[in-house]
Amino acid sequence: MIAGPSSRLDSFLEALEDASDIADLQRVIERLRDHLGIDHAVYHWVSAGGEQYGCGTYSAEWVQLYVSKDYLRIDPVIQGCYQNFHPVDWKRLDWSGRAARAFLYDAVAHGVGNQGYSVPLRGPNGQFALFTVSHDCSDEAWADFTESHRRQLILIAHYFNHKALALEPGRSPVAAQALSPREVEAITLLAMGYSRAQVAQTLTISEHTLRAYVESARLKLGAINTLHAVARALSRGLIIIT
């Protein structure tokens, strides 16, 4: 990996500003990957309905496999970033489950790399996206890379998201419906780390009734799953965790 001069950052931001379509974004992200000397750079926007949009340098075979196996719903990177507002190093995510290990095996086999760093991005009405860089190297080399490039990666990530929103305004989620008091209570307790059984017991309802509240809240928030619903509720100030 190389560490290019910070003056080069301006050229990438200018190229992003001048981008007029997704093909332009693709060219910029390829230039960025080459400049950083890493294996991959990816911008990944996930819509409320699970539609995926963006650009990046993963192989076509991996992208096709990711979609065909519906890896979006089990990808620990997606799940982990729903719960964070700060950049996430993949090594700190939970890869212990069987499905997660199978996903990781497939990812490494398709050249994604054994290291990764993702910046969660949030926009209007709960829009969610990720900007990710990944590489195949030692833990020490990756720690050095992320430490020296962290600020640049965060800035570039937000520029990518800003441009994507400008190019694809029709993809912006619609405003969510208001949550009921019971839905707010359920989502709040889940955000605090309660298990579903604990939430049901606290609210004095059955787990079946709890599922109905959570599913209703998820639909109102336009979320893909419960973790996404919690993240959207937090980002919109619908629930407050103290």
Q: 220-242: per-residue pLDDT in tens?
A: 887 778 888 888 788 777 887 76
Task: Provide the 10 A C-beta neighbour count for residue 124.
Answer: 11
**Reported confidence tier of residue 5, pLDDT bands at 50, 70, 90:** very low
Q: What is the residue extent of each domain of the chain? A: 8-171, 181-235
Does residue 95 surpass a pLDDT of 60? yes
DSSP state of 177: P
Percentage of the chain beyond pLDDT 70 is 91
pTM exceeding the 0.85 threshold for the entire prediction: no
What distance in Å separates the CA atoms of residue 88 and residue 81, rounded to the nearest whole number? 7
Q: Which CATH superfamily is domain 8-171 in?
A: Transcription factor LuxR-like, autoinducer-binding domain (3.30.450.80)
Distances in whole angstroms, Cα of residue 28 to Cα of each of 14, 53, 193, 225: 10, 16, 40, 32
* Residue 232 near residue 223 (C-beta atoms within 8 A): yes
**Candidates 3.40.50.300, 3.20.20.70, 1.10.443.10, 1.10.10.10; correct CATH number of 181-235?**
1.10.10.10
